[in-house]
Amino acid sequence: MEELESLESLLRDEKSFDINVLAGAFEKRSKLDKRFKLSLIIFTSTHSPIELFNSWHSRDFAFDLRELNGFYIIKLNRILKRSTNDSDTRTTAGSFGIFRFGESNIWIAFTSETPYFFKNGVIRFIESYKPDISRVYLSSEELRRLFEKVEDSVLGEVFVKKAVLYSNIKEGQISFKKAHFQELFNTAENECSYVDKVEYDIRQNDEQNYHGFISRSLISYYYSGKITNFFDKILPILVDMSEKKLEVFENKERKYEDVQAKPINIKFPQNVFKDKYDNIRLIKALEKVSFGAVAVFHKNPYLHLSFLDFIDGSNFDIFVTNQNKMTIIPNYKCSMYSLMRVTDQVFKNFKEGKIEVAEKRQYSFSDFIGD
């Protein structure tokens, strides 16, 4: 990132550096170059990703890491193989920054390098540490709440420039252009679709003061405007939403001394399980999870299946015994990473719902006595 190199020549020492200084350099460059884009990815790690990076890495990656006052700069080089022939390769190289948001388990990596480096370098490097590092996914309803909170925070209005929606039922994408964000989400709700990506403006007094992008997989772009809108307003909201989702998914695998499992419910706004064909739709959605396997034990009238994640060995049972709810019951190996990606697949290929920890059932003496 050329902004970092320019800053380092101006700063007295490492302690003079902080994220706000670098953010100002990005905003300055965006005013000079209309093609400028700052790319960011938000992810979670229960352990320090810096310690993970230093402990091991794929042979396809080479990197140099250094710290600047709690902020980390990584110069990364990746070798991409075009075929099984080791000599048929190309490389992508650049630098990116990474920092932890406060005392949370949420981390942000970002770069102003090319989109190719961001996708094939930064993102692939971070994802190579799964399941220790996990992506965070938001639903359409959570994205709607994000924009509602942003409007309240900045005392402005959020307008969609472009957006991509996908149907829960049909193949293909739906394009959406130029309207207030509420119209976008109302359209998605009415058409049984989910919002995947949004390019948007924040306007105050009919003037644009921020131009950005957000996806449900928490990839974000800053194009222009007051960058403090992202770091001081948008980012804290995203972190808060992510942490609430992590509270549901963390530490759900059963321990051998546990008497009860720790079920998770997905509640849907309507009755979506009306007959066996709805059960089959859910099965097909789960079968689309990459590197996973589904075993169906009972299909009608209630649904019972088991899911196995080949990436980290996570496994859990899924039950549908209610028309508007499905229940996930984690087993002795069940990671937050696996729960995150499976529930996102349900939201994309079946129906979006609300994720919550199931209430513990209270038993009485009569439960153990027959009629």
What pLDDT score does 138 carry? Answer: 94
- Residue 98 sits in the same domain as residue 216: no
Q: Does residue 8 carry a pLDDT above 70?
A: no
Q: Does residue 188 carry a pLDDT above 70?
A: yes
- Residue 268 sits in the same domain as residue 231: no
Domain range holding 72?
Answer: 2-135
Beta strand extents in 102-218 (DSSP E only)? 106-111, 133-135, 157-167, 173-180, 193-204, 207-215
What pLDDT score does 89 carry? Answer: 78
Task: Name the percent of the chain lying above pLDDT 90.
Answer: 63
How many angstroms separate the CA atoms of 138 and 219, rounded?
A: 11
Q: Does residue 3 carry a pLDDT above 90?
A: no
Q: Are 298 and 282 in contact (CB under 8 A)?
A: no
Token pair for 209: 């003061």
Q: Which residues of 140-160 are buried (b: 16+ CB within 10 A; e: fewer)?
A: bbbbbebbebbbeebebbbbb
How many angstroms separate the CA atoms of 309 and 322, rounded?
A: 25
What pLDDT score does 56 carry? Answer: 87
Is residue 113 situated within a structural domain? yes
- Residue 106 sits in the same domain as residue 122: yes
How many angstroms separate the CA atoms of 293 and 342, rounded?
A: 11
pLDDT digits (tens, 9 = 90+) for 260-288: 778 899 999 999 999 899 999 999 999 99
Residues with Cβ within 8 Å of residue 353, at least 6 apart in sequence: 139, 266, 267, 268, 269, 326, 346, 347
Query: Would you place residue 370 in the very low, low, confident or very high pLDDT band (cuts 50, 70, 90)?
Result: very low
Task: Name the percent of the chain lying above pLDDT 70.
Answer: 89
What pLDDT score does 87 carry? Answer: 63
User: Mind giving me the DSSP string for 292-313?
Assistant: EEEEEEE-SSSEEEEEEETTT-
Q: Are 136 and 341 in contact (CB under 8 A)?
A: no
Is residue 363 situated within a structural domain? no
Which of 248 and 371 is assigned the larger pLDDT? Answer: 248
Q: 94-108, 121-135, 239-253: which has the minimum mean pLDDT?
A: 239-253
- Residue 270 sits in the same domain as residue 225: no
Is residue 269 situated within a structural domain? yes
Q: Does residue 45 carry a pLDDT above 60?
A: yes
Q: What is the CATH number of the domain that holds 342?
A: 3.30.160
- Residue 206 sits in the same domain as residue 118: no
Quick one: which of 138, 158, 125 has its CA closest to 52? Answer: 125
How high does pLDDT run on average in the chain? 88
* The domain boundary residue, chosen from 98, 120, 135: 135
- Residue 131 sits in the same domain as residue 144: no
* The domain boundary residue, chosen from 81, 115, 135: 135
Domain count, the chain: 3
- Residue 104 sits in the same domain as residue 145: no
Token pair for 9: 């020549």
Q: Are 149 and 131 in contact (CB under 8 A)?
A: no
Q: 12-26, 40-54, 90-104, 120-134: which has the minimum mean pLDDT?
A: 12-26
Query: Would you place residue 206 in the very low, low, confident or very high pLDDT band (cuts 50, 70, 90)?
Result: confident
pLDDT digits (tens, 9 = 90+) for 101-114: 988 999 999 999 99
Query: Would you place residue 173 in the very low, low, confident or very high pLDDT band (cuts 50, 70, 90)?
Result: confident
Q: Does residue 58 carry a pLDDT above 50?
A: yes
Q: Does residue 368 carry a pLDDT above 60?
A: no
Is residue 257 situated within a structural domain? no
- Residue 107 sits in the same domain as residue 220: no
Is residue 366 situated within a structural domain? no
Is residue 285 situated within a structural domain? yes
Is residue 362 situated within a structural domain? no
Q: Does residue 166 carry a pLDDT above 70?
A: yes
Average pLDDT over residues 71-94: 81
- Residue 291 sits in the same domain as residue 171: no
* The domain boundary residue, chosen from 66, 101, 135: 135
- Residue 215 sits in the same domain as residue 117: no
How many angstroms separate the CA atoms of 97 and 263, rounded?
A: 37
How many angstroms separate the CA atoms of 3 and 297, rounded?
A: 57
- Residue 6 sits in the same domain as residue 130: yes
Is residue 127 situated within a structural domain? yes
Which of 257 and 176 is assigned the larger pLDDT? Answer: 176
- Residue 291 sits in the same domain as residue 239: no
Q: 6-15, 67-76, 125-134, 287-296: which has the minimum mean pLDDT?
A: 6-15
